[in-house]
Each structure stands twice: as structure tokens, then as C-alpha cells.
Chain A
Amino acid sequence: MSAEDDPRRPLDGILEGLSESVAREDPEELLEEARTAGQGPGSIAQRLKDIALAALKKFEQRKLETAREAYYLRATKGPENKASVASTPDERKRQLSAILQSNPEIGAVLTAQHREFESLSDEDVQSALEDLAELGFLGDPTGTARKE
């Protein structure tokens, strides 16, 4: 069936025409039409307004949530954690060793990746410490991960 033969088309046309006429109409005229038809414009308006304001409230809550998450990410990736990675290769290796002693399970993962702790390059150590900093291991003097 072609679009021209679609039995909906004349009815759709009337509905399109009616909706276009509403779009270009003065709101006061439509208010009068609603009153004449006994539609209770006050309750129509209040219902739509309640929906709109509830949605706006939800949008604001989501924005707040997004801002909170962004703040949290900034805080966990912030300068304090970067600063807590030691500044020389020897210190970094000692720092990593201390964390691994407190957290043998991390040591197992790390040595599985790199075979031997002693064979880790300074770049590997730096990278591991940065990863651990993001996980919150460096912020705590005991070397345990941050509790959520």
C-alpha cells in the first residue's frame, strides 16, 4: 500500500491541522475554549505544572549527583595522592615493598605480571604506585586500601 492510499492520511491530516492551529493560537483563546468545554483549566494547568516541576527537581538531583561524582574523582586523583608517591627510585621501591608486605594479594598479582619484584623497572614501580594511589593505598600510612 502506498502512503497516498493509507486510510490514516485524511485523519492524520485533520489531527495535524488541529495541532498546528493550536500551536499558532493565542493561549487566552485556548483557555476560553477549555472553560467553554467544561474542562477545568485550573486542574489541567496544575497537573502539567506539577509534572514539569517534579522533572526539574529530578534534573537538579542528577546534576548534583554528577557534581558529587566529579568531586570524588578529583579528590581521589588529586595532587595529594600524586605527591604521596615517593620522589626517588629507591624510595619508590621501598614504598611499594611496604605496601606489598601489608597486602600480599597485591604482591601476587604484581609478581604474576612482572615475575619478580626485584626485576621491576623504575617505570613499572612508578606505574604500580600510581595505580595503587588511585585505589587509595598510598593515602593511608598502614598501606591498606581506602574503605568506601
Chain B
Amino acid sequence: MSAPPGSGPLQRPEASLEDIRRAFQSLTTADWVKLDAYAELRIRVVGISAPGRDPYYLFMQAMNSLETGRRHWYPDNVDLVKFLTDAMWSISSNWARQREATGYVQVPETDLIRYSEQGEELESVLEQAQSQDASPEEQLIRSEFQTQEQLVKEIEGLFKDNPLASLIVDGWTARMKGREIIEALNIDENQYRTAARLVRRRIKARWPKGMPDVR
């Protein structure tokens, strides 16, 4: 069995539960907001109308993976926020791949544990999502949603007055990474970040409660 990445002899040890607790206690409001914003977007990547979608659930899975040893956190290599965003990326990407292959998300047994704020185990997302078939009422509601193409057009329309933001959104729709877009447009990191902020802010202003469901 190979050792986890970063576990060489000169490596400081993996974080203990106490290290993790201390790290959580020291997170700022801004750090928590970042984790929340990231979880919200990643759960939408899984499926914009996936049943039982819930950013808190995704966050819990990242925490569970830490506890069960499926992922290892070495605080000297990466901070807790980065560790958790990487974990959420990995988990949600797996779910998204499953959705592409099968049309729905099969959450593994090991990912089912979920807690209330009081530490009680809650009904799992899988239990919530067990019925793959939408009820007639749900089907009626879904039929009134705009299509994914319509939503993309609407998003693109928000940046017609800003060529750089518009090009960045074009890059995203072509599945380019930030680094690739920066290179292709010959811009620097700051220019990219500034334009990406504008994109996020306009999307948030257009849909303050989150992007709409689509069919």
C-alpha cells in the first residue's frame, strides 16, 4: 500500500482531531463564507436540479472523508480551507461524473452520514433522493423552468458591455480552466480575478437567491 501524499520521513504528521478542532475555531467569518460559496457552486455542478442538493451535505462529506481517513490533511502543506475546497471539488466531481454516466447521483454508503447542528444524525440525501421519478406535480413545476441553453444565454447576456468578462464566460463554457484562459487572453492573474469578480457579482445581483433551476 502506498503512503498518502506528503507523508515522507521529513513530513510533519497528519493533523490530529485536536489540530482540526483548533483550525476550525480559528477560521474567520470570511473563511466560512468562502467554504459556503464554494459548496453552493459545487453542488450546482453536480446537477442543477439534482434531488436533495444541499451545499451543507457536500461540506459534511468533506469532513467525513477527513475522519474516515479517505483524505489526509497535512497542515504544513495546505491550510484547512484549501483542504476542504479540494475535498469538496473531488467529491462533487465524482458525483457529477456519475450523473453524466447514469443520469443520477448514487451516493456511496460511506458518504451518507449527516448531522444536525446538534450532532444528531439526519435523513440522508440518498433517502431524500430515492425516488428517481418526479411526481406529476414536480414534472409540472419543472416544465416551467427555463432550459439550460436559455440560462446560459441569459448569463452571457449579462456581460455584453464588458468584453473581458464576456470572453472569460466564453472560456468557461468551452470548459477552459482559469490558467488556460489567462494564457489564451494574455492577461495577468489580477485582471482575471477582477473580471471574474464582476461575473460573480452580476450573477449574484441577477439571482440573489441563487441561479434558477433549469430543465
Contact = CB atoms under 8 A, between A and B. Distances in A.
Interface residues of A, number: 53
A31 B89 contact: no
Given A19-B89, A56-B21, A51 B152 contact: no
B197 to A, nearest CB: 7
Contact of B178 (A10, A24, A29, A36): A24
Interface string A4-23: 00111111111111111111
B17 A56 contact: yes
Interface in A1-54: 3, 6-25, 27-31, 33-34, 36-39, 41-42, 44-54
Interface string A48-66: 1111111111111011000
B117 A16 contact: no
Contacts of B199: 18, 21
B63 A52 contact: yes
Contacts of B12: none
Interface in B93-127: 96, 100, 115-119
A25 B199 CA distance: 13
Interface in B151-177: 151-152, 155, 168-169, 171-177
B45 A54 contact: no
B136 interface: no
Interface of A: 3, 6-25, 27-31, 33-34, 36-39, 41-42, 44-60, 62-63
